Structure 1
Amino acid sequence: MKKNFSLLIIGILCITFLSCSKNEDGKWDDNIKLSTKLVEFNSNENLTTITTGTNSWWLDGIAFNGTQVDLQQINQTSQNFIVENPDFTVERLNGNIIKIKMKENLTNAERIMNIALQNGNYFDGIKVIQKGN
C-alpha cells in the first residue's frame, strides 16, 4: 500500500512539473522583428522604410494624434495595402516592407502616429514623431 501511494505521489509530481511552461500565457517572443520601432521626422515631407523579419503579421490599427484612423476599407491582413490620409501614407509591400510618408507639417504642433501590428498573440508597433514647424 505504501509503495502504491509513493508511486502515485511521484506520478502526480512528474505530471505537474512536466505540464508547467516557463512562458506566461500571452507572452510571446518577438515574431514580427521590426527593423525600427521609433521614427523621428523634421517638419518637412519625409519618407522612411521599415522592414519586418516575417510577413505573417497584420495591421492592428493606426492612431494619428490620438485619434483612431478608420481602416474599414483596408484588408489589414493583405501582403500589400495602402492607408492614405491627408497627412500621411502607410504602405505595406510584399508582406515585410512598410513605407511611411508624412506630409509637411505646417503647424507648430508635433504630430504623433502609432502603427499597431500583431502576429498571433504578439503585439508590436511603430511610433512616428514629426516635429512642428
Structure 2
Amino acid sequence: ILNILVITISLSFTGTPLVVAPMLLAVTFLCCWDWHRFRPMFLEAPLTRPVPRHRLENWERVGFFAFAFSLMNFFGVTRSFIPSSLAAAFLVTGILAGIATLGRFLWLWRTGRLPGLINTLD
C-alpha cells in the first residue's frame, strides 16, 4: 500500500492519498497488533507461550453472516440489483444483527467469559 501512496502523491491524484494514507495507517496498526505472530519470522528466539486462537461461537457466526448478508443485499438494492421494496427489511435486519452481535460480545467481555483471549504480550 505504501507504493500506491507514493505513486498517487507523485502523480498528483486528487483525493486518492486521502483514502490510501488511512489504509496504510490501518495496515501498520494491524501489523503491530499481530506482532506476536510475526515475531518468529524476524527474531531467532521462539515464543515462550503459544499464541491463543479464538474460535467463533455459533452466535458470532450467525450474527456476522446476517450482518454481511443484509449489508450486501442493501447495497444490491442501492445498485438496483434487488427490488427497492426490500431495502428497509435488509437495513433493519443488518442493524439488528450487528447490535445483537456487538451486545453479546460486550456482555461476554464485561463478564470475563470470552474464551481464548489471553494477553500474550506481558
Into which bin does the TM-score normalised by the smaller protein fall? under 0.3
Would you tell me which structure has more helix in proportion to its own residues? 2
Would you tell me which structure has more strand in proportion to its own residues? 1
Larger Rg: 1
Report 1 or 2 for greater relative contact order, CA contacts < 8 Å, sequence distance ≥ 6: 1
